[in-house]
């Protein structure tokens, strides 16, 4: 049974890595479930502190993924309207466009918010570019954390490999 749980856990870790690039899959949280499964096997001693810390980091990165596009708008000179537009665009984009809405929604929202504040289209593009940079930052964070969880998974398995066979 432990081998089956191990296999499911490693699949979750790999799906988490893929999910770092696909907005519909919460990458780090999916990878964390793989770590949790590994810790639930009888071959590995359960480590509550490790599970709690890794879950906290996964949730933090999950939340940061929604904040970074808005922060990118602000850093590249966006007004409050652009930030609000990027936020609304993110929410609306996810529900209307789907996974691509995480990229397209903040861009359209930032441009719209900036143009409502009487900025020209040209001046609205720079803050919209900030939303793209923010989204890419989120992807990099998710990928790095998912890879870290995968390496944790492999390391823990390697330490207790004799208990699996």
Q: Which string of DSSP letters, residue by residue, matches 20-69?
A: TT-TTS-HHHHHHHHHHHHHHSTTS---HHHHHHHHHHHHHHHHHHHHHH
At 21 the pLDDT is 84
The dihedral region occupied by 45, where left means phi > 0, alpha psi between -120 and 50, and beta the remainder, is beta
Give pLDDT, residue 120.
83
Burial code (b: 16+ CB inside 10 Å, e: under 16) for 69-99 equals bbbbbbebebbebbbbbbbbbbeebbeeeee
Q: pTM of the prediction?
A: 0.82
pLDDT at 49: 97
The rounded distance, in Å, linking the Cα atoms of 97 and 103 is: 10
pLDDT for res 9 = 96
| CA gap 110, 116 in Å, rounded | 10
Residue linked to tokens 């789907």: 98
- Report pLDDT for 7: 94
Q: Which two tokens stand for residue 135?
A: 């989204």
Q: Is the dihedral of CA 136, 33, 55, 31 positive or negative?
A: negative
Whether the Cβ atoms of residue 13 and residue 54 lie closer than 8 Å to each other: no
**CA atoms of 27 and 56, how far apart (whole Å):** 14
Domain containing 54 equals 2-164
pLDDT (tens, 9 = 90+) of the chain, 165 residues, equals 888 999 999 999 999 999 998 777 899 999 999 999 999 999 999 999 999 999 999 999 999 988 888 888 888 888 888 888 888 888 888 788 877 787 788 889 889 988 888 788 888 888 888 888 888 898 899 999 999 999 999 999 999 999 887
Helix (H) or strand (E) run with residue 41 in it: none
The pLDDT of residue 104: 86
Task: Specify the number of domains making up the chain.
Answer: 1
């Amino acid at each position: 049974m432990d081998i089956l749980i191990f296999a499911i856990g490693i699949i979750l870790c790999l799906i988490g890595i893929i999910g770092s690039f696909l907005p519909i899959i919460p990458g780090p949280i999916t990878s964390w479930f793989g770590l949790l499964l590994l810790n639930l096997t009888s071959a590995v001693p359960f480590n509550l502190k490790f599970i709690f810390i890794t879950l906290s980091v996964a949730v933090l990165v999950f939340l940061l993924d929604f904040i970074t596009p808005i922060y990118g708008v602000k850093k590249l000179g966006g007004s409050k309207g652009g930030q609000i537009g990027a936020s609304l665009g993110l929410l609306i984009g996810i529900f209307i466009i789907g996974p691509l809405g995480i990229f397209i929604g903040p861009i359209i929202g930032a441009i719209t918010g900036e143009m409502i504040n009487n900025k020209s289209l040209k001046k609205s593009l720079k803050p919209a570019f900030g939303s793209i940079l923010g989204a890419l930052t989120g992807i990099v964070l998710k990928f790095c954390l998912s890879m870290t969880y995968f390496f944790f998974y492999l390391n823990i398995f390697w330490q207790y490999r004799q208990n699996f066979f």
